[in-house]
Amino acid sequence: MKNFYEITVIDTDNQLEVEVELREHNNPEYQFTVNDLPIVSRMRFAFCLLDELQFRCKINNGAVEVAKITINGHEVLPVYQHLARPATNWITTDWEFTVPAPFYAWYHEITGQGWIA
Query: What's the whole-number average pLDDT of the chain?
Result: 89
pTM of the predicted protein model? 0.85
Compute the average pLDDT of residues 98-106.
90
**For residues 93 and 30, what is the distance between their CA atoms, to the nearest angstrom?**
10
**DSSP state, residue 96:** E
| Residue 76 contacts residue 69 (beta carbons within 8 Å) | yes
Quote the CA–CA distance of 13 and 2 in Å, as a whole number.
Answer: 21
pLDDT at 111: 87
Residue type for position 107:
Y
CATH fold label, 11-110: Lipoxygenase-1 (2.60.60)
Is 98 within 8 Å of 63 (Cβ atoms)?
Answer: no
Region 68-86: mean pLDDT is: 96
Segments making up each domain of the chain, as ranges: 11-110
Which residues are 58's β-sheet partners?
31
* Closest C-alpha to 105, from 16, 10, 36: 16
- CA gap 92, 25 in Å, rounded: 10
Please check the confidence at residue 117 and state whether its pLDDT lies above 60: no
